[in-house]
Structure 1
Amino acid sequence: MTEAAHIRRPFSLEGRVALVTGAGRGLGFEMARALALSGATVIINGRDEARLRGPAEAIAAEAGRHVETAAFDVADTAAASAAITDIDRRFGRLDILVNNVGMRDRRPLKDFTATEMQALLGADLIAPALLARDAAELMARHRHGRIINISSIAAAVIYGHDAVYSAAKAGLNGLTRALAVDYARAGITANAIAPGMFATETNQAMVQNPDLAAFVDLRVPVGRWGRPAEIGAAAVFLASDEASFVNGHILVVDGGQTVRM
């Protein structure tokens, strides 16, 4: 065997265990897929076990490895904590957490009740914070961990009637930086990905809207919507050993939208 054969494959996640929330479809599915293709043992999360089976089987068939499922509501504190405990029992470790689940409700601020605001902030900010806290305890045992929060360019570039969501994602960015400081000495990094406009299943009506097509052509330098598969490499990079000195960073994946005048 040559010396080169001993060199580790760049961005390999072999031996790593990853939990991706909201991975039954869309960007969550694509990130879970990319992590599995890079060698990680992936656990995909959603609220409905039956709906997770198809995505898990699809990723497993492509990656050539078993994909696990973990059905729980991330906003259910007890259920989320129990899921981390179960991952510890089944795998003895957790190396990568992708906090992907998010909730969006585009309405004028005046139309929100306090309860509705709390629900959105709970899903988009509090749930990721608590899941990261519990995951970090498990990661710290092995002095290795990657926390990846899925933010949004809406934290910095504000759309109309999106105040609560934008505030939640801005808070998530702040949380990411705080986690980066608090857990770095335990071998854990924390970063975020801020996607721009992606042509996911849930956005198909928007993708087909001619007014939005004109907006995308004008405002996004690459002149198109993001393809869901294009988010996966960002997650793999931040999860990898190659990103071991990247900590507290918000990686914007938006085709240049936020830098265009």
Structure 2
Amino acid sequence: MIAPVRPRRSMLYVPGDKPRALAKAMALPADGLILDLEDAVAPGNKHAARQAIVEAVADGGHGARELILRVSAADCAEDFVLAERLPLDGVLLPKVEDAGTVRGAAERTPHPIWCMIETPLGVLRAPEIAAASASLAGFVAGTNDLAKDLRARHVPDRAPLLTSLSLVLLAARAHGLAAIDGVHLDLDDAAGFEAACRQGLALGFDGKSLVHPGTIDAANRIFAPSPDEIARAREMVAAWEARPAGTGVARIGGTMVEQLHVDEAERLLAFAEMIEARG
């Protein structure tokens, strides 16, 4: 059976200089928290933000939530010193455009490395970035910066970004990495947010990066297996196990099924169990 990755349906950015937001985030139902020291924090607030992050997470009260620190820059010594003090699951590098950046960061920290792919050059070099280090855990698509650099329009179907999103996803999957879709900034457009989540799911992303707690529930729901998908997966696994010995292909519910389909069904069921265990 193919082992599922941990749930990353909802990855919420939390500004490091907002102590109340950091404290609240520890009780939110997000699968992961991206503790942000980059764009969300003004240069003059970086020191206070580092201290606020220490106070918020040092006691380990985040439960099963994945904690990832987005550093100010890939060579910011203060942020990597901070990372050593914290019970983190990863360090997120902004605006990665080459493999050397990843290797340099891996020398600075034992934590898994994540990369923001958010520039045209980063997208074009995504394959070499994905192969840069065994410490690499995943990619996060930075769709706002990417749209700006491409001079692309913000349209509901995200058509101008689909080529870039697919290239990022292909590079990630080719090297066994997680892949998180970019943010949706129109907080009053609930229908548009859900449509973007469904599109990201259809493309193959593991989850959505978020900027507001109010979008967590929708992302969790959409990126989780539906009851119908779970029932179908159970049916497929049971029928496959009951097939005649030595049979490499089976007809299940009018569909031709091979081992690869069963592997995916088992992965989906294991993923659903991990979500259920979180309550």
Task: Report TM bin, short chain.
Answer: 0.3 to 0.5
TM-score by length of 1: 0.38
Greater helix percent: which structure? 1
TM-score by length of 2: 0.37
